Structure 1
Amino acid sequence: MIRGPESFKYVWTSAKLKNEASQTSTEIYRYTTKMKCLAAWRFLFMLLILGWLFIWVMLPTKAYKDAWTPKLKQSLNSTYFREHGTNLLLLTLPVMLIAALGCVYLHFAEKSEIASYPESRAKKSHGCQLFSRKRPVLVVAPLGIVNIVELAFSAMFIVLLIWSLANYLHTSFGHLHMDKPGTKVWKLKFRSVSLRLGYIGNICWAFLFFPVTRWSSILPLVGLSSESSIKYHIWLGHISMILFAAHSIGFIVYWGMTDQMAQILEWSKTYVPNVAGLIAFLFSLPIWATSLYPIRRKMFEVFFDTHHLYILYIFFYILHVGVAYFCMILPGIFLFLIDRYIRFLQSKRRTRLISARLLPCGTTELTFSKNPGLRYNPTSTLFLNVPSISKLQWHPFTIISNSNLEPDKLSIAIKSQGSWSQKLYKQLSSNLDHLQVSTEGPYGPTSFHLLRHDAVVMISGGSGITPFISIIREIIYRSTKPNCKVPKVLLVAAFKNAADLSKLDLLLPGSITSIDVSQIQLEIEAYITGDKEHSIPTEESDNPYKPSQITTTTRWFKPSPSDLPISAVLGQNSWLWLGAIISTSFIMFLLFLGILTRYAIYPTEKRGELYHYSLKTLWDMFFVCACVFLATSVIFLFQKRTSSAPEVTQIQNLELPIPTTSPAGPLSCGVGGDDRELESLPCQPFVEATRVHFGSRPDLKRILFDIKGWDVGVVACGPRKMRHEVAKICSSGPPKNLHFESVSFTW
């Protein structure tokens, strides 16, 4: 029997549908397998973290001191590690293992692209995080915005401190140390309390450096980045300083009561050097004083410069506590040192600056050359240094570009409001052919889940709109992908004056002309709080602004052979190379420490002599620094050698654009009236989506309560008061579909 054309068409269509179904099943199977593997990894990390925390809970107990310690010393304090052994195994090794394995996990989590398929499952996934952040439950000025996960961990940490202090005191009061015959019991207890407060401060130091490690493999596991967790560093810093101040003052008072003031200047060869602790305390005072919010906010340069005393503070602090307690806080310092040295190596490279776009509102858009292989997520930041202004100061700025839309360029926005940014604006306004700059980063979230909501509300104040520019550009990119749903977006932007409307010109990259943005469901509500309608310049009315204030100027810079595009500091597989640095440097540290102990320290102690207490600590610090510098330098130089040639070729192939001066964007001037839709933009859909309100502030409660949808993401960036107001609305209002996030880069 001969089949007709319709029969062949039917068979062909059926085969095609079966093939598509088979491919879909395969994709679902692969996706499910990847999710199961990542879930197994997360379970392993959870066990390691809980085990590490359990050791901290048991550490101050009598059971640990009387039952665990003798057995641990017998088995772990070998001829290779001595008193290092117990703390290295229980308190240092678990964190270093998490950091190294976390790098491998993050590498495969990024490669798996779990956010791209399938959409229904991706919405419920939390990516590489062990914990997902919930709605804010507490908004208090000193603490800021605290969600349920943060509140739970903060409460557990406070309980840990109280638990540790109570157990330490209970144990020590039963065995009071009589350092001077005839001392009264209450004085001995006073000394014991002062000593144990120092122990508690050491617990804070075990966590202190994790939040300031910008390139961390541990923070992403708990859904954090260095920018979002900087407040934890501030909290821990204040708590530790209060405890150390009480510890230091307590001992000074005790020595004064017992006529032992000479103890302050003692540097013992067999025990804690008191003078080292005093020096560390003196260095900590200016660091603490300048880190207080009023001083830090008004005199940032003083705070920044003074904070570099932390190097001397750490040095004398470690000398004071000795090797056993140094091992307790070693993981945080070790990982921070790796991060800091990588940043130093990256900062020595000069970055290719392509152009500077000066907006009428005083905001500057700087565009750099970027390696196409570099990927970053929205709301990421880039640290910038301009040697002609200051060789020491580094300032973080929000990245407004999108690594997919603009594969060879990276842009940041800088508001001219501080002395440093004003000097930069002045330099860029002059006729410069080339500006020497260095960069660190970019840093940001390893995954971006905000766009998985059905609708997104972005609320900004002033320069707080800059993180949202990168989010909107990400939405533009995703709208071009087939079968990719993007959420509805409402941007509520509050500006002080009409000139600030020019910031809206940054929403769409100037180089993007072929993308149809009409597919984006975007609404923009712009509020001008400081200007009335009649103060806005028009063609028919007198212009109250100078011509330079209503024009956008773009300046192009000549390339230099020494300038390179921004690229991943350790190449395309940065997470794997970071894991190699962590594991290699730590193994080297253990080897060098074991060799020194076995062939220098152990023979001395075996003869009945005491190895100098401070010399052991100096050896530890030297080995840590040497191993980190050696391992990092070798891998960095290897990556630089393999990637430098393509980068130089890229710079040489760049053509220098002709300098031009373009008028301000239609969103920044020529606005006619209150609550009117803007017109005459090249990008008509953006014009139709924008409404400007003059002389009023947004009614945030009404706006948020009117949002309809099962799942609404609310993100706020701007002044603290505004962010707190939005957080209170999301936490206390009747809608249960509002999921709040805060973007803040103010320290």
Structure 2
Amino acid sequence: MAAWRRPVLVRDPLGIVTAIELAFFLMFLALLAWFYFAFISLDFSKIIVRPGRKIWQAKLFMAALRLGHVGSLCCAFLFFPVARGSPLLQLVGLTSEASIKYHVWLGHLVMLFFTAHGLGYIVLWASTDQIHEMVEWARTRVANVPGELALLSGIAMWVTSLPRVRRHMFELFFHTHQLYALFLVFYTLHVGITVFCSILPGVFLFMVDRYLRFLQSRARVRLVSARLLASKTVELNFCKSPCLTHSPLSTIFVNVPCVSRLQWHPFTVTSSSSLEPDMLSVVIKRAGTWTQKLHEMLTSLPDSQPGHLDVSVEGPYSYSQDTSGSFLDHYDSLVMISGGSGITPFISVIRELVHRSVTTTTPSLLLISVFKSSADLAMLDLIVPASGGFSGVFRLDLRLEAFVTGENMAPTGDVARKAPVKELWFKPSPPHAPIAPVLGHNSWLCLAAVVSSSFAVFLLLLGAVQRLYVYPVDGNSNRVYPRVPRTLLNMLFLCVGVAVAASAAVLWNRRRRNDEAAKQINNLTTPATSPDKVTDGYAGVEVESSPRHFLEQVTQVHFGGRPNLRRMLLQIGGSGTDVGVMASDPPGLLEDVATICSSPSASNLHFESISFSW
């Protein structure tokens, strides 16, 4: 399995692809090819040419029809990777952000086949003087207009999801992608509910997950404190229910209504649920418009009485606990390579290993961080949590190598590392609650109950209406129940089933944890760590036995150049031990590290990509 997980492709268009991913991708393409040509060969052997048509037109009709069927086969898998809280992802050890690339691959295939399907019919209608078919909405058979509307919705999502558009106009991409609801509605009106059932499993799980996320996002969570660094970086510390556990490298979506009611942004969780059972932290670096507004708003708040801040979250989303521990336990050494804010995933890894060092032997750690300026070195201080409890860091075999590329020498007095930090402690508000699992303690069992009960409600409503209303109409020889209302009723019943079952489960679990949440919030009304102690750490008043002093001792800062990653990695890999190599943003750094780890001379370097493709 180690050989199958090595990168074999590094550059575009597929990005960093391991051998096992490439094998499954090629097998899926083989399935699509067999599916298409098996149908085409059968259709061509029994082809019937209608009066007024030529043989090539009859073949084009069959070919375009089967292209739509192949697109539907791809669409059957399209929604599985974007169900963030789906247990299916955790069963195979995938996080929601790592599975995004599979959704991207499938999305390209879906739109290629559906676009070819639509163009094939347009060419056929134009060649047979039946272009009026484009505006036909048949009452009891396949309707063309909703198919065209579904295709236009899909093309809009497809074009705005291209890398150049998504990276430079993320808001346009994000809001345009909400057209998926119209795409599904028009697709179902086009093909009918029977064909829609072929893609129903993925869509159904996505609907359940999306509605649960909606219910979680309606609640306001308790923001305990915020740390502002001189590097224009903010750490937000939330109150968390102890029953909510998450693995390292987890992500969470954050919405701050006073900054923007519509924008949700994903961030890596930097805390460890093992080391900090009552706290969840994220680090936000000032980069875009949203983060700039957030930083300016927090900076303008008074230190003594900042009041409270309304924040909503979705998540966290993480690996399964068993899978997440594999890369921390199965290697003799761990090398973590990051650029800029890409260091945030590795903060949670270090904190998790501090907790594990109490009971087990942990691998040696090397953190290689690349920054543009010396002010960004302050991000290394975020390794020490604001809540304390970090004394176990002395048990780690830890080494930090920081490279500052934009400066040739250290600033006088090491101002960047000693700059004062502003810390805000927010007051609790009655509507605020700790971040907790949306389905309570036994979330897997509760999710299974929601899925099964919602589908049972759907079937009961569907059966009742079909038996009591639709079939009596169809039984009349002079009437046929229209296709559109029948399809819309089926989709309405599906939505009602999901809404009823999920709402009942969330309300039941929320009522059970209200007393526990109130007690926990009261315990966090005063800071667990005095702000003065944190400020003193930045002012240079360090105790020699403190975690901050230890981090300074194991940190070596290099100015004026980039790290020679090939030399450093091959030197570690040549020691004969198994080395896990994790790399984070930016994409160019990921590709460079993957290229080194895929070389034959690095057989004991095992690459773990930390990908963020939202």
Name the TM-score class by shorter chain.
over 0.9
SS in 1 for 2:491: helix
1:435 to 306, 309, 324: 309
1:342 to 212, 237, 250: 212
- 1:711 lines up with 2:578 in the alignment: yes
- 1:273 lines up with 2:151 in the alignment: no
SS in 2 for 1:309: helix
1:152-171 correspondence to structure 2 within 5 Å: 152-171=23-42
Distance, in Å, in 2 between the alignment partners of 1:220 and 1:513 is: 29
Q: CA RMSD in A?
A: 2.3
- 1:685 lines up with 2:554 in the alignment: no
Structure 1 position 478, deviation (Å): 0.6
Contact 1:553 1:660 in 2 (8 A): no
Structure 1 position 498, deviation (Å): 0.7
Q: What do the CA deviations read for 1:617-660 (whole angstroms, capped 9, x no partner)?
A: 21221121111111111111111111112212322343244866
Structure 1 position 511, deviation (Å): 2.7
Distance, in Å, in 2 between the alignment partners of 1:230 and 1:163 is: 26
Q: What do the CA deviations read for 1:412-436 (whole angstroms, capped 9, x no partner)?
A: 0011101111111111111142211
Structure 1 position 407, deviation (Å): 1.2
> Please, which runs of 5 or more residues in structure 2 have no aligned partner?
none
Distance, in Å, in 1 between the alignment partners of 2:90 and 2:225 is: 33
Call closer, same or farther: CA 1:653–1:705 in 2, change over 3 Å: closer
Distance, in Å, in 2 between the alignment partners of 1:478 and 1:599 is: 61
Q: TM-score, normalised by structure 2?
A: 0.93
> Please, which runs of 5 or more residues in structure 1 have no aligned partner?
1-125, 671-678
Structure 1 position 665, deviation (Å): 5.7
Which one-letter code corresponds to 1:582 in the other structure?
V
Aligned residues: 599
Distance, in Å, in 1 between the alignment partners of 2:523 and 2:217 is: 24
Partner of 2:362: 486
- 1:552 lines up with 2:421 in the alignment: yes
Structure 1 position 514, deviation (Å): 6.4
Structure 1 position 607, deviation (Å): 4.2
- 1:378 lines up with 2:243 in the alignment: no
Partner of 2:320: 446
Distance, in Å, in 2 between the alignment partners of 1:259 and 1:531 is: 69
Partner of 2:173: 303
Partner of 2:289: 419
Q: What do the CA deviations read for 1:302-340 (whole angstroms, capped 9, x no partner)?
A: 111111111111111111111121010000100000000
Distance, in Å, in 2 between the alignment partners of 1:145 and 1:706 is: 23
Call closer, same or farther: CA 1:353–1:563 in 2, change over 3 Å: same
Which one-letter code corresponds to 2:485 in the other structure?
L
Which one-letter code corresponds to 1:699 in the other structure?
N
Distance, in Å, in 2 between the alignment partners of 1:645 and 1:132 is: 51
1:571 to 408, 428, 440: 440
Call closer, same or farther: CA 1:171–1:682 in 2, change over 3 Å: closer
Distance, in Å, in 1 between the alignment partners of 2:570 and 2:287 is: 34
Q: TM-score, normalised by structure 1?
A: 0.77
1:464 to 315, 323, 342: 342
Partner of 1:722: 589
Call closer, same or farther: CA 1:664–1:231 in 2, change over 3 Å: farther
Structure 1 position 288, deviation (Å): 1.4
Partner of 1:93: none
When Rg is computed on C-alpha atoms for both structures, the one with the higher figure is 1
Call closer, same or farther: CA 1:717–1:646 in 2, change over 3 Å: same
Distance, in Å, in 2 between the alignment partners of 1:507 and 1:665 is: 13
1:699 to 564, 567, 570: 564
Distance, in Å, in 1 between the alignment partners of 2:290 and 2:566 is: 37
Q: What do the CA deviations read for 1:327-370 (whole angstroms, capped 9, x no partner)?
A: 10000100000000000000110011111111111111000111
Distance, in Å, in 2 between the alignment partners of 1:284 and 1:177 is: 32
Partner of 1:230: 100
Distance, in Å, in 1 between the alignment partners of 2:209 and 2:319 is: 16
Call closer, same or farther: CA 1:397–1:295 in 2, change over 3 Å: same
Which one-letter code corresponds to 1:440 in the other structure?
E
SS in 2 for 1:706: helix
Structure 1 position 680, deviation (Å): 9.7
Call closer, same or farther: CA 1:551–1:584 in 2, change over 3 Å: same
Which one-letter code corresponds to 2:399 in the other structure?
E
Partner of 1:41: none
Partner of 1:102: none
Structure 1 position 515, deviation (Å): 2.1
Distance, in Å, in 1 between the alignment partners of 2:119 and 2:525 is: 64
Distance, in Å, in 2 between the alignment partners of 1:739 and 1:388 is: 43
Contact 2:100 2:613 in 1 (8 A): no
Moved more, 735-744 or 410-419: 735-744
Distance, in Å, in 2 between the alignment partners of 1:692 and 1:526 is: 5
Identity over aligned residues, as a percent?
49
1:509 to 367, 373, 385: 385
Distance, in Å, in 2 between the alignment partners of 1:379 and 1:322 is: 41
1:536 to 411, 429, 434: 411
Partner of 1:112: none
Contact 1:434 1:557 in 2 (8 A): yes
